[in-house]
Amino acid sequence: MTEYTPPAVWKHDTENGGRFAAINRPTAGAREEKELPRGDHPYQLYSLATPNGVKANIIFEELIEEGHDLDYDAWVINIGEQEQFTSGFVDVNPNSKIPALLDLSGPEPVRVFESGAILMHMAEKFDRFQAKGAARAEMLSWLFWQIGSAPFIGGGFGHFYAYAPEKYEYPINRYAMETKRLFDVADQRLAQTQFLSGDEYTIADMAAWPWMAPFTKGVIYNDAKTFLSIDEYEHVGRWAKEIGERVAVRRAMMVNKTWGDEDTQVPNRHSAADFEGKKV
């Protein structure tokens, strides 16, 4: 491997971005004038069924499963087609990342962007899936542990192991080590408690599950399950299986999904009827 010597001043190289070269730029803002669609419900979710996108789907489907009086429209934002850079989406999320939520349930529209913020917004609004009292600090700690760790798993390990135009030992080893360390953190915690923040299922689990469960099933980053010896994290496996069997979570995995078996896809969700005839 040729050693890289950084220049005195960094410049964006559009030819050296790998799979995401057309998406990533060092600038923010809209690249195209286009309004977002709106449905009839008070909550408009703009997303894709990536791990971060699934987080938002879970809180909505869990609230609906419990019988709360709410419904939502979920619209696909095709990040491969750069729809996250349209003016309508940037108005809701200036960071141009999915998911983004427009809450129209009050007197004034409220935008909520970033997956952790959406989880907290909905949990607080309906007073569900959040720990109380002293346990709240534990829940928030695990929630932000996940938010802080996701870039190491996705942008770190996932990128260099599966998506980078060339594979290099140093970055793969660096982020494989960190991903395994994070799994070990969770595994040691889940050896003591049923869920991350304790004995109660909360938004901390909703945040971490979409990132960790795919590793236990071997459905993310090619053969990463074998490469990282994920089966050795038995308590994470138990937790991932338990949450994955929840009906609301199974529905959430289908919302805004545009790949795989068509029977598992609900690209744009507008009502519970959209799941009829699907493999929930």
pLDDT of residue 21: 66
DSSP 33-95: --PPP--SSSEEEEE-SSHHHHHHHHHHHHHHHTT-S--EEEEE--GGGTGGGBHHHHHH-TT
Mean pLDDT of the region 127-132: 96
- Residue 122, H or E segment: helix 115-126
pLDDT of residue 18: 64
pLDDT per residue as tens digits for the range 42-86: 999 999 999 999 999 999 999 999 999 999 999 999 999 999 999
pLDDT per residue as tens digits for the range 13-37: 876 666 666 788 899 999 999 999 9
Query: Are 101 and 43 contacting, i.e. CB atoms less than 8 angstroms apart?
Result: yes
pLDDT tier for residue 222 given thresholds of 50, 70 and 90: confident
Looking at the predicted structure, is the pLDDT value of residue 239 above 80? yes
Mean pLDDT of the region 83-110: 98
Q: In the predicted model, what is the mean pLDDT of the chain?
A: 95
pLDDT of residue 14: 73
Mean pLDDT of the region 136-144: 98
Question: Can you list the pairs that 260-269 forms with residues at least 24 positions away whose Cβ atoms lie under 8 Å?
Answer: 266/74, 267/76, 268/73, 268/74, 268/75, 268/76, 269/72, 269/73, 269/74
